[in-house]
Amino acid sequence: MPGILSFGAYVPPTRLGFALMSGGAPGDGGPERAVAWSDEDSVTMAVAAAINCLRGFERASVDALFFASTTQPFAEKQAAALIAKALDLRRDLRTSDFAGTLRAGSDALSAACDAVAAGSVGNVLLIASDCRLAPPGSALERNFGDGAAAFLIGAPGAIASIEGSYAFSEEIVDLWRAAGDTFVHSWEERFVVQQGYSAGICEAVKGLLTRLDADASDFAKFAIAAPDARSHKAAAHALGLSEASLVAPCFGQLGSAGVAFAPLLLVSALEAAQPGERLLLANYGDGGAAHAFVVNDHIQKLAPRRGLAWHLAKRRAVPRYEHYLRARELTAREFPEGAGPGLSATVHFREREDEISFLAQRCKACGALQFPAQRICESCFAKDAFSRVRLSDKSGAVVSYTLDYFFPTPVPPTIVSVVEVEGARVHLQLVDAQPDEIHPGFPVEFSFRRIHSKGGRPNYYWKAVPRARERG
């Protein structure tokens, strides 16, 4: 029976306090939401969550990648193919995008389980990621949050097997974003909640319980998406669920993370799950969907993941609201960001192994590692005798760095560094750190980020980030 083999999450460390949105001063301890920064989007967050999910698993075992998002950066170009390249997955895997509804993550989950059950693929990497924009100062801006969740779906060795699912569709204009719109729009709040969310989430949960001939008391935890804390509480009350059975929705910490919200709550449930427990995921969007899982003994063998709790504890407060507006390009510019032809598509294609997959090369003659790829070894001068080595899951240390106050960034300066990785030296921006923290020998790992949007499209590369300390 198909199930979850592994899971991972990513929540941007940047936090926007509610006080800042109201013109107040920054301060720790108050309600906040997670926000993707200027070099992050649904694709970069998806890569981060997937790397975490795949830790300890052979990437060659992934047969398909399904990506769900309402905010993928391309209207006509597959984001899943870009993510697969950044993850250095097999060339012959199947890739698909799921979009257009907040239920896209649930739709992708159903498709992944169906594909595994049918035997057409062995393992599916499923990623849900979103960073929706709301009008500044609106209620939606407070309730939204950014993040990504990833699951490896397979059959043998599942930590949580799927028991069943239920889904329905509904035509309702509650939340929407038309082509070309920057912000999500919402109809009148009472209509959106009562006729849309509450009715839909309750129908999804009750439909699944009926199909399984089960009661709510049979489930240890419910991972239920919601647009806000009050609606979540009302839906739980309508379903007769106890507070102890609910995965904390993290409003005031994370926010409603679009298609990734319910999957992130499932990640949270799996972090504390015990063998034999049953979990229920419920999602809403143009209808509703619910999935039931039973936790297996294999969960005790899974190495610790960077789950929701790990990321919520790793936070950095935005000091000023205008920094957030600049980071999300919500301020007026003298010149449009996408002006000019941008990066040559020919150059991008030729160098995609270096820039997207972040592959170095190791000399077969002397063992030296070097980056970027070239025909002659810098150490022993052997020619065309190299094997490829993935750098994205390695760590390194800063050799030297400089502070650039001219490179465009929401909060100058930009930290530009030379990082040593097993003898190879790589020129990278260093982010998610303050200048006074950095020193030669500073330990770093690597994160897939957006460099710029020249030519009217996002261009990606890898950046150095402070090496995280693992828990557990």
In the chain, where are the structural domains located? 3-327, 345-466
> Phi/psi at 365 (nearest 5 deg)?
-85, -45
Band (345; pLDDT cuts 50, 70, 90): confident
Say if strands 396-404 and 414-421 run parallel, antiparallel, or are unpaired: antiparallel
Say which amino acid occupies 1: M
**Residue 444 forms beta bridges with which residues?**
396, 466
Residue 262's H or E segment, with its range, is: helix 261-272
pLDDT of residue 342: 64
CB-based contact 19:119 (threshold 8 Å): no
Band (452; pLDDT cuts 50, 70, 90): confident
How far is the C-alpha of 63 from the C-alpha of 94, rounded, in Å? Answer: 6
pLDDT of residue 32: 94
Residue 30 has which token pair? 């108050």
Band (192; pLDDT cuts 50, 70, 90): confident
Q: Across all residues in the chain, what is the average pLDDT?
A: 92
85, 172, 167, 125: which is closest to 356 by C-alpha? 85
CB-based contact 410:328 (threshold 8 Å): no
Average pLDDT over residues 122-133: 97
- 14: pLDDT strictly greater than 90: yes
Buried b (16+ CB within 10 A) or exposed e, 320-349: ebebbebbbeeeeeeeeeeeeebbeeeeee
**Higher pLDDT residue, 137 or 40?**
40
Residue 96 has which token pair? 């698909």
CB-based contact 145:29 (threshold 8 Å): no
pLDDT of residue 472: 45
Tens of pLDDT, residue by residue over 50-97, are 999 999 999 999 999 999 999 999 999 999 999 999 999 999 999 999
**DSSP reduced 3-state for 67:** strand
Q: Count of CB atoms within 10 A of residue 33's CB?
A: 24
Say which amino acid occupies 19: A
Residue 121 has which token pair? 């693929």
pLDDT of residue 408: 82
pLDDT of residue 291: 98
CB-based contact 131:42 (threshold 8 Å): yes
Tens of pLDDT, residue by residue over 273-294, are 999 999 999 999 999 999 999 9
How far is the C-alpha of 335 from the C-alpha of 202, rounded, in Å? Answer: 48
- 148: pLDDT strictly greater than 90: yes
Top CATH class of 3-327 equals alpha beta
- 336: pLDDT strictly greater than 70: no
| Longest alpha-carbon distance in the chain | 72
Buried b (16+ CB within 10 A) or exposed e, 401-417: beeeeeeebbeeebbbb
- 343: pLDDT strictly greater than 70: no
Average pLDDT over residues 158-168: 96
Q: Based on the number of CB atoms within 10 Å of its own CB, is 15 exposed (0-12), middle (13-18) or buried (19 or more)?
A: buried
